[in-house]
Structure 1
Amino acid sequence: MATIIVGNQLAEETATGRDELPADYRGYLGMVSHRLLWLAQPGDVIVLPNQPDPTFVAYVWDLLGYHSNPPRIVVPPTGARDDLLLYDDRLLSEEFIDELRTLIRPSQSEIWAFFHDSTVMALAERLGLPTNPRRQFLEQGGLRLVNSKSTFRAIASGLALHIPEGIIATTPAAAERFIWTHLAESRSVIVKQDGHGGGYGNDILKSPAGPSGFGASRSAEIPDRQALAAEVRASWDRWTTEGTRPVVIEEYSGDAVPLYAEFDVRDGDAELVGHGEMRVGDSDDGPTNAGLVVPAVRAAQGPAYPAFLEEAQSLAAALGSIGYRGSVSVDSIALPDGRILLNEFNGRISGSTHVHTLCRALFHGDPLSTRVVLVRSHRTLPPTASTLDTLEDLQLRFDSATGFGVILGGDDGQLIIIASSLPDAEQVERLLDDAFAERGELCRDAV
């Protein structure tokens, strides 16, 4: 069975209109889609918004051992906008569909997309791919359900799972009342757009003495109730996508450590793929996701961690029971008092999927029982060939014989450091920083 892997990193509505993302971030996301090469098998077709660095492509196929029959990379024609992302008009262009038809056998093919949205469903139909229960669920709006923050709170509450204090607000008055009960006590809240991702669309609202931090594209200090009322009035349409969706508001802890657990949901089962900690870094726009620590070495030592994995699995299984199939990442926060609270799910390929897929391809048995993986993201690096030369010079390039070293995760500058312990991985990261700085190729925040 050949797979058509579609790198549509974000849905159409996040590329246009009120929720449009900046061009530099859309360009970064387009490059992130190049990491999907790690998920492909020989005979697969990978649809990307633009061509990845040829040196990176050759590097991936070499490490995976795909010499004789590598996957095919296809880039649709540029549409009405640009080639930064896979917009609807690009994926559904007749020229592109005709090209795909020459590369696949419909009866022996399936689609695996970053976002299984209506455009991907239309593409599957026009290619004549067989219908299955997964497609039927998605064709009826299932994607929105499994990426909805309000749906998460409803299902998690129904399962009596541990989640942050919060509400699903449908009126400005309800939102204002809940927010003020926290600001008045010098606590902060995070306001989440129901369908956005990656922290975009989220606001942190804080009193002058309240905590601020990671997980939002905007932070605002609210000095009094009058200022809060003005903030709610000014932001309500944006928070609710012009009144078409509810908004989720939760208590926010600035000292929380973000965690995730990723599952593969199949018929009657949710298999744990991997789990880890999301690293927090700094950029010009504030704290941002800077990569992963896999597994979550520090948090996993706490007594609440096994219960977190059990709750996350029950949540993933619940999505399977309503018809979802595929990857789902359950996010959570580890609080300073030891509690771990689930705070959303994302039914799509995540930023960790290629890391776990790669580890399973490289190692046998439990791939992370004797290793720690430190993923460094949101950075710019020199061109791929120069980066690989630096790794070679430092004798840090991944060695298949030992199972340790540094892998170039993407031509967007992501590095995957595989070591025997977290301190060893962090030491390698410092060595790389020093080496790039000495060569005048200092890593810096990309966005």
Structure 2
Amino acid sequence: MPRILIMNAGTPQMSGGHLTEAQLSLAANSAHRSAWFAHERDLIVSPVEIPANLLSFIGATLDFDASSLRLVVPASRQPTILDDCTLLSRTVVERIKRHIRQDSAWRLYPCYSTEGVARLAALLGIPNTGDDFALQRGPDLLNRKSHFRQLATSVALPLPHGSVVTDPDGLSNAVTSLRSETGSVIIKLDNGAGGVGNVILTSNKSDPLPGARDTRWTSWPSFDPKALWSEMTTPSCKTLVVESYHLARSFFYLEYAIQDDSSIAFINSGSIRLRKSKDRSERALIWTGLELPSDLEDEQWLTAQAHAYRFVALSRDLGYRGMINIDAIFARDGRLLFNEANGRWGGGSVLHNIAIRLLGLDYSSRNVILSVRNVRSPSFQAAHDRFVKDGLLFDRTRKEGVIPLAADEQAGTVECVVIAPDRPTAHDQQQRLLGP
């Protein structure tokens, strides 16, 4: 059954509706990256054009006829996102209808199940389990940090001490009550994705800490809650989450799929990898990629799974259907602490999709999958040609090598996937890609 892939990353539900130029660029890069979900005869609804050479390479790598793919892109002279208004525009809907007339059965596969996606399903006559929940904007419950704390508390997930605040006085009270636990607190914008809305305040002078766009040394008496409130909140988001900040020895996520029949399938788990910037003035760590499977010890993994499953089951019982991923840490004192959940495609979803199609469902018992961001290259084609020349390109017989995922030509970088038989080999390959 062919699918309609809806690449609506960066929607207002995820970003708060105030997209910067950098966030628009990320949404475009996400669309290129998500093209790897495609199967033969799928229809891709994307905010941007996807290069023909990328689609051809995807088809050749995953062994299907890429010429069978169809692409619908909104007509726009400006960078855009695939928000509900754009998705439901007459032009987009009519173009989708023209493409799907040749087949009687289709499925929708959105990044984010928005109200607009549910309305599109009704217009196309494609019923989906979970549409009623999406029509009431139910998935937003699973993509807000405040709602995560509320829902997670109801199923007894271990969380950092914290609170939800809605004004500067609440922010001041929360920071004051939490700062003594570890000497650091993290303040999170309710609907900021990827840590871009987070700020860490610490009384301990330190290098940038994971999980935030800025780490700030603070003399607590000089803390100005009104200034921070004004800086962090937006016209569409006047809610912050304040938590005690814990240093971590491992960062990881767990990803699940809630199926139409209400069953819950574990999809994958990966470690989140970060590094310091060479620029000493940079106040955030650089996200270098993901590593699948996660490097947790068996007991840690089983403990995290048992807790996370309760949250996923609650999400199912609320009415949500689709992908859901949950971020967590094991703190340096050994405690398991959950940070947030996202009811949508996660960063590891594409990597898992590629791995099972090339290696089989049990790949995690035999392989390590590493995403490597910011590999220097002027274009996707240049990266591909370099990997062929250097003998790095993924080899189906050996079942290892490098796959270029997508290029950010403005930045002059390419994201790649390393497939290796073990972690040392994968890390060596990463160093070879990134250079000295």
Equivalent runs, 1:35-434 vs 2, <5 Å = 35-67=33-65, 70-78=68-76, 82-105=78-101, 108-125=105-122, 127-184=123-180, 187-209=183-205, 212-225=208-221, 227-228=222-223, 230=224, 232-236=225-229, 239=232, 241-242=234-235, 246-266=239-259, 267-283=261-277, 284=282, 286-297=284-295, 300-301=296-297, 303-412=299-408, 413-434=414-435
**Cα RMSD (Å):** 2.5
Q: Measure how far apart 1:234 and its partner are.
A: 2.3
Q: Measure how far apart 1:132 and its partner are.
A: 3.5
Match for residue 3 of structure 1?
3
Between the aligned partners of 1:337 and 1:323, the Cα distance in structure 2 is 36
Contact 2:376–2:434, Cα closer than 8 Å, also in 1: no
Q: Measure how far apart 1:119 and its partner are.
A: 3.0
Q: Measure how far apart 1:418 and its partner are.
A: 0.8
Relative to structure 1, the CA distance from residue 101 to residue 238 in structure 2 (aligned partners, 3 Å threshold; closer, same or farther) is: farther
Between the aligned partners of 2:22 and 2:165, the Cα distance in structure 1 is 32
Whichever residue aligns with residue 422 of structure 2, its letter is S
Between the aligned partners of 1:364 and 1:61, the Cα distance in structure 2 is 17
Between the aligned partners of 2:111 and 2:6, the Cα distance in structure 1 is 6
Q: Measure how far apart 1:223 and its partner are.
A: 1.3
Between the aligned partners of 1:70 and 1:308, the Cα distance in structure 2 is 41
Contact 1:208–1:223, Cα closer than 8 Å, also in 2: no
Whichever residue aligns with residue 395 of structure 2, its letter is D
Counterpart of 1:204 in 2: which secondary structure?
strand
Between the aligned partners of 1:365 and 1:381, the Cα distance in structure 2 is 32
Relative to structure 1, the CA distance from residue 280 to residue 68 in structure 2 (aligned partners, 3 Å threshold; closer, same or farther) is: closer
Counterpart of 1:199 in 2: which secondary structure?
coil
Q: Measure how far apart 1:369 and its partner are.
A: 0.5
Match for residue 12 of structure 2?
12
Contact 1:203–1:220, Cα closer than 8 Å, also in 2: yes
Contact 1:192–1:248, Cα closer than 8 Å, also in 2: yes
Structure 1 residue runs of 5 or longer lacking an equivalent are 438-447
Between the aligned partners of 1:244 and 1:375, the Cα distance in structure 2 is 32
Match for residue 24 of structure 2?
26
Length-normalised TM-score, structure 1: 0.87
Match for residue 444 of structure 1?
none
Between the aligned partners of 1:388 and 1:108, the Cα distance in structure 2 is 36
Between the aligned partners of 1:87 and 1:319, the Cα distance in structure 2 is 23
Counterpart of 2:40 in 1: which secondary structure?
coil
Whichever residue aligns with residue 116 of structure 1, its letter is S
Match for residue 411 of structure 2?
none
Contact 1:53–1:411, Cα closer than 8 Å, also in 2: no
Counterpart of 2:53 in 1: which secondary structure?
helix
Whichever residue aligns with residue 174 of structure 1, its letter is G
Q: Matched residues, percent identical?
A: 27
Counterpart of 1:373 in 2: which secondary structure?
strand
Between the aligned partners of 1:248 and 1:129, the Cα distance in structure 2 is 40
Contact 2:158–2:337, Cα closer than 8 Å, also in 1: yes
Relative to structure 1, the CA distance from residue 210 to residue 398 in structure 2 (aligned partners, 3 Å threshold; closer, same or farther) is: closer
Q: Measure how far apart 1:137 and its partner are.
A: 0.3
Contact 1:327–1:349, Cα closer than 8 Å, also in 2: yes
Q: Measure how far apart 1:245 and its partner are.
A: 5.0
Structure 2 residue runs of 5 or longer lacking an equivalent are 409-413
Counterpart of 1:343 in 2: which secondary structure?
strand
Counterpart of 2:59 in 1: which secondary structure?
helix
Contact 1:191–1:247, Cα closer than 8 Å, also in 2: yes
Counterpart of 2:346 in 1: which secondary structure?
coil
